[in-house]
Structure 1
């Protein structure tokens, strides 16, 4: 076999290996991608792409034991130059893992867009756009503590957010405690029981009638347990797929180096 023939055969072998690896990598990527699915929140964000400022609040949630299905309803608040509009979404089906992720976030903002920048973080409704913004209100002292007060024309926001009082010390804790601008959810001061979120939003006296609040504790506990197991299983499968992909890639890389190292001998 002459040198030219060896070179041609070598090129063919390397090309075949590269194509095989490419197909395998593509299949692995597809397998991992299929474990993730776009949530209704992602779709709302896409639909509101032209807006520069908005908030998405988890307004209500529900589950069906018989069909093992889960649903969310959202409150969408859009800030315009001269007004603020609010609307409720229809009920949206969500995955067990997404339901589990936001079990403690009812009544909270779970996604927002501020000055064109999208953030996904669980915070008390109004914290990122309106509370502390002098365009909408001011801090005032009441009984030795400072609370946020909306101006008259924006007074409807308190009931819209279902937040009758915004304590300054909590807001300062959120802004200065490493939560603001991060992905960490804020439910109140560290070391205390949750001040914000599902527990407070569904408690008696919250003034809001919701499907989730009407469910008995036994039902909620069953749902929590079920979606927690499902979410753990999904994460475990994703990690396993990721490890398999990395291991397979290392093997193929080693195999390719071994073959190319022997080429031309």
Structure 2
């Protein structure tokens, strides 16, 4: 898991950046990301530094992993979404504290930057752009529900989030704004977002299968360890009993 690179989809970067600048940016990101490992600077900060000249983007926590039994190593994988392109990182090693800090936010945006604001609280994909007429508008469906619709060149934003994006209704957005006012992450009206939510379970089933396999492996190792200890104890007891009976 110690390879670090980024993949890109989309034809051009946000803000009219040229193709040459895109590849220069990609190269800069690779340089920053490749040095993550166990360095003191978290990968999120390195990505933000590499993207300092990009006016609008979101960083989504796309996957997490743990390796090892007694001495564990922790990894993150990110998706960087710009206004008409997206970049996906490979596995990036993080510290245990950093892993624990974001443990609940699988499939959520852990940092968003727009020309108007920066958001550091974990948010569901796309919510940071809602309410801004630059990106879209509120519409009403046939059932009378009010939902947010991205339009024009920003219509791709929902697709760039991949399977993580879900339609955003007015009631959900109100809940999100209330959570932001309290400086809290918003997991959805029914807590459908984040590591414990149904969205992550649908989009990233491998995360849960890896987790279950790790738990099962740990239980098996513990069972074998207990069995070995019990075996040694019984053997010793019989030996001592035999000595007393002679």
Q: Is 1:167 matched up with 2:169?
A: yes
Give the match for residue 134 of structure 1: 133
Tell me the TM-score normalized by structure 2.
Answer: 0.61
| C-alpha distance after superposition, 1:4-56 (max 9, x if no partner) | xxxxxxxxxxxxxxxxxxxxxxxxxxxxxxxx932100111111122232211
Q: Is 1:201 matched up with 2:204?
A: no
Query: Is the contact between residue 110 and residue 120 of structure 1 (CA under 8 Å) also seen in structure 2?
Result: yes
Max radius of gyration: which structure? 1
Query: Is the contact between residue 175 and residue 186 of structure 2 (CA under 8 Å) also seen in structure 1?
Result: no
How big is the alpha-carbon RMSD for the aligned residues of Structure 1 and Structure 2? 2.8
1:116 is displaced (CA, Å) by: 7.2
Distance 2:139 2:95 in 1: 43
1:127 is displaced (CA, Å) by: 1.4
Query: Is the contact between residue 179 and residue 186 of structure 2 (CA under 8 Å) also seen in structure 1?
Result: no
Distance 1:221 1:113 in 2: 40
Q: Look up the SS of the partner of 1:123 in the other structure.
A: coil
Change (3 A) 1:165 1:57: same
Change (3 A) 1:135 1:45: same
| C-alpha distance after superposition, 1:211-231 (max 9, x if no partner) | 4144354647999xxxxxxxx
Give the match for residue 179 of structure 1: 180
Q: Is 1:55 matched up with 2:50?
A: no
**1:42 aligns with one of 38, 41, 45:** 45
Q: Is 1:109 matched up with 2:109?
A: yes
Give the match for residue 72 of structure 1: 76
Distance 1:115 1:136 in 2: 12
Change (3 A) 1:70 1:86: same
1:160 is displaced (CA, Å) by: 2.5
Across the two proteins, how many residue pairs are aligned to each other? 175
**More contact order relative to length (CA 8 Å, sep ≥ 6):** 1
Change (3 A) 1:125 1:164: closer
Runs of 4+ in 1 over 3 A off after TM superposition: 116-119, 152-156, 216-223
Q: Gaps (5+ residues) in structure 1?
A: 1-35, 224-265
Q: Gaps (5+ residues) in structure 2?
A: 1-38, 219-246
Query: Is the contact between residue 60 and residue 211 of structure 1 (CA under 8 Å) also seen in structure 2?
Result: no
Q: Is 1:145 matched up with 2:145?
A: yes
Change (3 A) 1:200 1:91: same
1:94 is displaced (CA, Å) by: 0.8
1:134 is displaced (CA, Å) by: 2.4
Query: Is the contact between residue 62 and residue 211 of structure 1 (CA under 8 Å) also seen in structure 2?
Result: no
